[in-house]
Amino acid sequence: MSPEDDVVMEGYLFKRATNAFKTWHRRWFQIKDNRLLYSHRSADVETPTVMEADLKLCLVRQAPSSVERACCFELEVFLHPTGMSPEDDVVMEGYLFKRATNAFKTWHRRWFQIKDNRLLYSHRSADVETPTVMEADLKLCLVRQAPSSVERACCFELVTPTKSHLLQADSETLCTAWIRALQRTIHHLHENDESLPANVRTFTSTNDETVNHNLPIQSKDTLLAELRRIPGNDKCADCGADSPKWASINLGVLLCIECCGIHRSFGVQVSKVRSLTMDSLEPEQRKLMIALGNRLVNSIYLAHLPNANIVPPPPRPTSSRPVRKAWIKAKYVERRFARLDIERARNSANVRAEGLRRNTAAKAISPTRSNSDRKLYEGRYAARSPSEPVAGSRLSPTTPKNEWKSTPSIAADLKRVASCGSDSDIDGSQEVIDNSKCGARVLKAAALGDVAELCRLVAEGVDVHAPYAKTTALHTAIKNAAALGDVAELCRLVAEGVDIHAPYAKTTALHTAIKNNQGMAAEFLMLNGSKVNALDASLNSPLHIACANALTLLVCQLMKRGADQRLRNCNGETALDLAIEGTHADIVTLLRLQEMRDEFTEEFNNPMDETVDDVMMDISRRMDPSLR
């Protein structure tokens, strides 16, 4: 007992440290004010440390037999069995471990709450600090058991349109309780969308990590009404259902919720779906949706739709899921109606013949892979004299044969350039279009910013990303479309199967669009698979081009897409070096703030994310009056 009335019990205890050494330390403990405190001596000597601020959340039990010391007990912080909170507006609360998103993937224990249809967390209880908003709108989330690859037990995953959060409960029972509580909240939000309080629907938080509230102030109802005024957008692009509320931002069409689910099932490499009532679209994505529309895109993807005996048949608003799926697959995945049957048959035959030729050549050249690089070299160049240089190599005439080896810097540069092109994995079994016949259209659409033409080319199966050894009519089309921002032509090229993203004439369509300040064409290219860190022959990325030409809005656009400012070109210059050399103050500020944000980890709770977003939005509004 203690002489103090508010102290239930006090005395010395050994506590085991939580570090890697698991050392034991003797401390003076007190149970006081429903808290567990400890200090080095008595409470009169120093301010005690709070081990647990709320003992009603704790469970005391005998230490497990694995503990080697005697007379030990364990204090486990545990949510009270009901999982309920004394606050009326809190659905559930308690401690969870959250995995950080930094490179170390460390786990941190935080106090979580489901409150006002949001998921919040703080270091202790909500009374101690202002909670951080992990998800501001649970309606956009999906909760599920953690994948089996996660080593920890009792884990679940909260998936959002942009990221996923991995959380761990104290027990399987609590894990199940959290999953059910989140599922009930999400289900309630979907069923009672119109009845939600205005303060919940319009909530904004400086700590929100997933929703960008710094976008131009434009009502979602206003955006939806504006998009529906575009020809064909009053009905679903696939089944014709009235009042579609979903959009495929890379295809540029509006969809009903049934067809939207089919689009999602084919993956983001085919269709990137967003809700027009729940999600926020970037300014470039809004412009892209306005530039395309259902009528234009359907005229591209259904350009060669037969008048009768259509297989598979087009769906209606009342059609079943299998009917919708067959139609959407034929329309967007196979692009069956974007090209003539005779052209598709010819291309398929060419692909099969080319695949057979490559397989035969590979077997003849490489019967076994057991030979080393030295044996391969000796077998190919044994007839050469030691003083005879190999064509295309940097070896001097005096380099001895036995000292031959690859040059790391050259190999690295070649690997970097080879990694450019499309993010979509197109294997040899799929149908590929003869790019030499469509290149001029791709280049022209990219040059003019004609998103509709780019969409048409994609629908026709044109490979707008593929590498080109020399300039052809197809390359000219890609270049012109990117340079002029002709998104309609780019869409047409994509529909035709042209790889509009791959290197051609020592550059790519994305580089061309950036160089010509065609933000909408650049957005279309990136949404349809162009790599934001693609390199040209000089190892310049699109960010290098934007910084060198003082294209501030495009720098913001590329940074949102995750452009890597650490890449160096053949002169060893980064994008920041080019911005400093050109004295482009706004770009230098953006890049340095981004660099600072990358250096901080989540452990510091640093508001750099918010700062970078604010500065980016302020600069964008200053450069583009339409964003104000």
Cβ neighbours of residue 476 closer than 8 Å, sequence gap 6 or more: 439, 440, 443, 444
156 DSSP β-pair partners: 145, 167
Give the residue-averaged pLDDT of 55-75.
Answer: 77
Mean pLDDT of 323-352: 75
Burial zone of 288 (CB within 10 Å; 0-12 exposed, 13-18 middle, 19+ buried): buried
The whole-angstrom separation of Cα 590 and Cα 580 is 12
How does the average pLDDT of the chain come out, rounded? 74
DSSP 312: S
Give the range among 363-367, 473-477, 547-551 with minimum mean pLDDT.
363-367
Cα separation, 160 vs 203, in Å, equals 17
**Does residue 227 contact residue 155 with C-beta atoms inside 8 Å?**
no
- Bridge partners of residue 119, in order along the sequence: 114, 135
Q: Distance of CA 377 to CAs 368, 388, 406, Å?
A: 15, 14, 11
| pLDDT, position 236 | 94
φ/ψ (deg, to 5) at 199:
-70, -25
Is residue 72 predicted with pLDDT exceeding 70? yes
Domains of the chain: 7-77 (2.30.29.30), 90-201 (2.30.29.30), 220-333 (1.10.220.150), 435-622 (1.25.40.20)
User: Residue 516 phi/psi, 5° resolution?
Assistant: -95, 15
Looking at residue 514, its pLDDT comes to: 92
pTM for the full model? Answer: 0.54
Kindly indicate the confidence band of residue 259, based on its pLDDT and cuts at 50, 70 and 90.
Answer: very high
- Has residue 143 got a pLDDT over 80? yes
Q: Which residues of 449-469 are buried (b: 16+ CB within 10 A; e: fewer)?
A: bbbbbbbbbbbbbbbbbbbbe
pLDDT the model gives residue 295: 93
- The pair of three-digit structure tokens given for residue 419, joined into one six-digit string: 């990694």
Res 325: pLDDT: 93
Q: What is the arithmetic mean of pLDDT over 503-525?
A: 87
Half-sphere exposure of 559 (CA within 13 A, CB side): 29
Tell me: pLDDT of 144 over 80. Answer: yes
Q: Give Cα separations from 413 to 48, 410, 511, 568 (angstroms).
A: 59, 5, 18, 10
The three-state secondary structure class of 268 is: coil
Question: 498-499 and 463-465 as β-strands: parallel, antiparallel, unpaired?
Answer: parallel
Q: Which two tokens stand for residue 599?
A: 């250096």
Summarize pLDDT for 203-226 with one digit per residue, the tens: 333 333 333 433 343 455 678 888
